Amino acid sequence: MGRLRGSDARTERLSAWQGRVEAILREAYPRAPEGQAVELGATVVGMFDAGARDAEVAAFLGAAQCRADTAWPPLASPELAALAARLHRAAGESPAVAT
């Protein structure tokens, strides 16, 4: 039973983190379609949860912004690195902090 509660807590933590990541992505790319922020937010949280470093997430975001179907304006490498670090830090923020 304790394992289930722990699993529920983990799911809630990851879900809250993903919501904060999506909000940060929408702020960084206000013209991007809603679905892209949700999709990238889930991927970014999954990457960090699996142990990815900020640089790996920044590289992923750079590749994602180069896709032809994305409406996200390109960010330079330093901006991507700062964005990835901010997304990673959002794991420990309360919902009110990230908005």
| Local confidence band at 98 (pLDDT 50, 70, 90 cut-offs) | very low
* Alpha carbon distance 7, 83 (integer Å): 29
94 SS3 class: coil
Check pLDDT > 80 for residue 51.
Answer: yes
* Alpha carbon distance 6, 91 (integer Å): 17
* Residue-range domain boundaries for the chain: 2-98
* Alpha carbon distance 26, 63 (integer Å): 18
Planar angle of CA 36, 50, 64, nearest 5 degrees: 30
The pLDDT > 70 percentage for the chain reads: 84
What pLDDT digit, counting tens, does each position of 5-31 carry?
768 889 999 999 999 999 999 998 888
Which among 96, 97, 95 is positioned nearest to 19, based on CA atoms? 95
pLDDT (average), residues 54-74: 82
In the chain, the amino acid numbered 16 is A
Mean pLDDT of the chain: 85
What pLDDT digit, counting tens, does each position of 26-37 carry?
998 888 887 888
pLDDT (average), residues 39-65: 94
